[in-house]
Homo-oligomer: A and B are copies of this chain.
């Protein structure tokens, strides 16, 4: 057994049954040992999740940054693929939102995004703070959008906001009523691209 082995089993169980089933006890059973043994390789559940994310990020293919290329489109594409990668595992996204990942593959991702921003002549300070914001946006978008099957009962619940918006009385919430048609428009893909584009625009804006 090794740390890598534990993480590999954890990823397999997550892919097959979701993060909810990735418990220390389940992993221990899978590895034919007691739960205490895992604490030799990982400090706690949060650290395990971090290691899992890093392994997932390794699968991402990151563009080689070239000055003058269409850095904007490349950056948006990279961020979309990050979000989509995590989309299948919203609970993992939720988990890594709190314990910020810091594995080697995640650092590589930060480095690539920074490279793209700098290639686009975004000022250093804006780029440095922006990379954080862009990744946080990617992770929280994935965390928010629950995958369809992970929480079967969520169907009724998760659209509670949508229902509330549609039914919002225009007397009490005039502005919501005013933008009602737009607020729920667009599919997930469109909104995702739009969010990243908006932040990038903000980073480029001279203030």
In the docked arrangement, what's the CA distance between A112 and B173, Å? 9
B118 close to A178 (CB less than 8 A): yes
Interface residues of A in 78-121 (CB under 8 A from B): 90, 94, 97-102, 107-108, 110-112, 114-115, 118
Select from chain B the residue with minimum beta-carbon distance to A207.
B201
Select from chain B the residue with minimum beta-carbon distance to A196.
B202
What residues of chain B lie closer than 8 Å to A118, measured between beta carbons?
175, 178-179
What residues of chain B lie closer than 8 Å to A90, measured between beta carbons?
98
Total interface residues in chain A, CB < 8 Å: 71
In the docked arrangement, what's the CA distance between A158 and B46, Å? 10
A198 close to B203 (CB less than 8 A): yes
A98 close to B130 (CB less than 8 A): no
A28–chain B nearest beta-carbon distance, Å:
22
In the docked arrangement, what's the CA distance between A126 and B141, Å? 18
Where the two chains meet, the residues of A that have a C-beta atom closer than 8 Å to any C-beta of B are 43, 46-47, 50, 90, 94, 97-102, 107-108, 110-112, 114-115, 118, 124-133, 136-137, 139-141, 143-144, 146, 154, 157-158, 160-161, 163-165, 168, 172-176, 178-179, 182-183, 185-186, 191, 194-195, 197-205, 207
